[in-house]
Amino acid sequence: MDFKKTNAELSTVTRDIRRFDSQTGNIYEAVSIMSKRANQISTEMKEELSAKLQEFSSHSDNLEEIFENREQIEISKFYEKLPKPSLIAVQEFLEEKVYYRNPTKTTE
């Protein structure tokens, strides 16, 4: 998933609760789906950031090198400016980009 191209809000906004339960018929199920998707997004973002920062790690860093590594600081700042995983998950859910299924419900 490319988190850089998402059109999710950067801060919290007031939302109409009826837009959430229109897909599932149950607001609690919708919140559960968005929560699980937010956890997936958070894990993906964390792994991607760790992989990028791993390039800068060395076993013989001194204190001066840690504070002067501008590239590492820029990468960290970029990820801090991205929308939070929960906001991305809400946007994906509202755009019907999230695949989900409920195994307890029977399909006809």
Residue 63 token pair: 């204190």
Dump pLDDT digits (tens) for 67-78.
567 788 888 888
pLDDT at 2: 66
d(CA 52, CA 59): 16
d(CA 97, CA 88): 11
Considering only CA atoms, which of 105, 104, 108, 102 is closest in space to residue 33?
A: 102
Dump pLDDT digits (tens) for 23-45.
888 899 999 999 999 999 999 99
Asked, for residue 102, whether it belongs to a domain, the answer is no
Asked, for residue 36, whether it belongs to a domain, the answer is yes
Domain that holds residue 36: 15-94
Dump pLDDT digits (tens) for 90-108.
989 988 888 888 778 766 5
Give the total number of structural domains in the chain.
1
User: What is the pTM assigned to this prediction?
Assistant: 0.77
